[in-house]
Amino acid sequence: MKPVLFQCPHCNYQSYVSDSEDFGYRASTLTMICRTCSSLVEVLIRAESPEQDRLLRRCPSCASTKVSPWDPLTMPCPKC
């Protein structure tokens, strides 16, 4: 899936997001809000490799587990 640019009209925060669950050969990601670093990130939600289990449901930027799914129609900017 091609990333879409999210830009907040209030604070100009920008992030490229998938906008929905994205599937790869051996993994799936979902755009989520990280409550620790206040960013939109693509979080690994499924993986076939046991080596990737430690990365499941963690922010790829700060490794926090305080992530929640983001819906572009109902969720606000993570920085605002």
Q: Kindly report, residue by residue over 53-68, the tens digit of the pLDDT.
A: 888 999 999 999 999 9
Under 8 Å between Cβ of 1 and 22: yes
Q: Retrieve residue 69's tokens.
A: 């799914």
CA neighbours closer than 13 Å in the CB half-sphere of residue 35: 7
pLDDT above 70 as % of the chain = 94
Please name which of 38, 39, 4, 43 lies closest in space to residue 21, comparing C-alpha atoms.
43
pLDDT digit string, tens, across residues 11-58 = 999 999 887 777 777 889 999 999 999 999 999 999 888 888 888 999
Rounded to two decimals, what is the model's pTM? 0.83
Question: In sequence order, which residues have a C-beta less than 8 Å from that of residue 58 and are 6 or more positions away?
Answer: 43, 44, 64, 65, 67
